[in-house]
Amino acid sequence: MPQFTRTWWGRKFISVLEGFTDPGRLGRGRAYANNGRIVSYEIDRGAIRAKVRGSINPYFGVYNEPIYATSAKLTPIAASDWQKVIADLSSRAGFIAKLLLNEMPDTIDHAFAPHGIHLLPHDDRDFTTTCSCPDWSRPCKHVAGLCYLLASLLDQDPFLLFELRGLSREQLRTELTHSPLGQILASELSQRPAPLVPTSSYFTRPRWEEATDEVTLKEFWTGAKRLPTLAEPGVGPTVPALLIKKGGDYPAFWPKDASFVETAEDLYERVRAKSPGIK
């Protein structure tokens, strides 16, 4: 059975769901998410709603396949709290750069924790679920299947987490790009066609340019402004091959039944075994 999620935020989302759901319903929910029983779904106003095919059970008098209306929603974050979090995000270049590249920063919780809130769910109080099936337990297997589907969607688009918490991706990008750091990074990330300049040589040739102002040696080496004394430490990726795994086990270009990520991992391992110098 393929994995539903590969990213750390997707795994954390699933681990919270598995912490308060009956194991039997979880197993059936995984099967529902994997065998096409979720007929359709949509994400609107911070909630995911779906039509899920139920099971025929003559013992309970169900002779026709039922279609249940199922939904899952995360508790939204208040607008005042979002303003505090965005102010914190906007002051860190690492956060802005990754979010503008549609990636989830590994330390995203550091921007939420000081304000007593969190982006990813922590327990069942963060979930609100509904289903029209007769099962009294919540979440039922249909809701569990919908949540597994949602986890795979979060792998491909981490901005869904912000949307489920009450902030649309358009609002987030607008707020980030309006900050001083965001304006600089957004301008650098925007695609600008480079002018084509013919040259007679493949090698760069130095050019002499007259200095416009007289600069002392101290000013040349130290600059006009002093660099900040503290720099934000870099954090290595927690998930290897993140760009590949963001596409999930079954990206649009992969028509086979086998997991694309597992197939790629097996291929890379064979190449590494035959070429010991490759890391």
User: What CA–CA distances, in Å, run from 227 to 172, 217, 222, 224?
Assistant: 29, 17, 9, 10
Q: Hunting for tokens 């600069």 — which residue is that?
A: 215
3-state DSSP assignment of residue 62: strand
Amino acid at 170: E
**The whole model's pTM is what?**
0.64
CA dist 181 and 188 (Å) reads 11
Amino acid at 231: A
From first to last of its 279 residues, the chain has per-residue pLDDT tens of 346 677 888 888 888 888 888 888 888 888 888 777 888 999 887 889 999 988 877 776 777 888 999 999 999 999 899 999 998 888 888 888 888 877 788 888 888 988 889 898 888 888 889 999 888 877 888 898 899 888 888 888 888 889 999 888 888 888 888 888 888 877 777 666 778 878 777 787 788 877 777 777 887 787 777 766 666 676 666 667 777 777 777 777 777 777 888 888 888 888 888 877 665
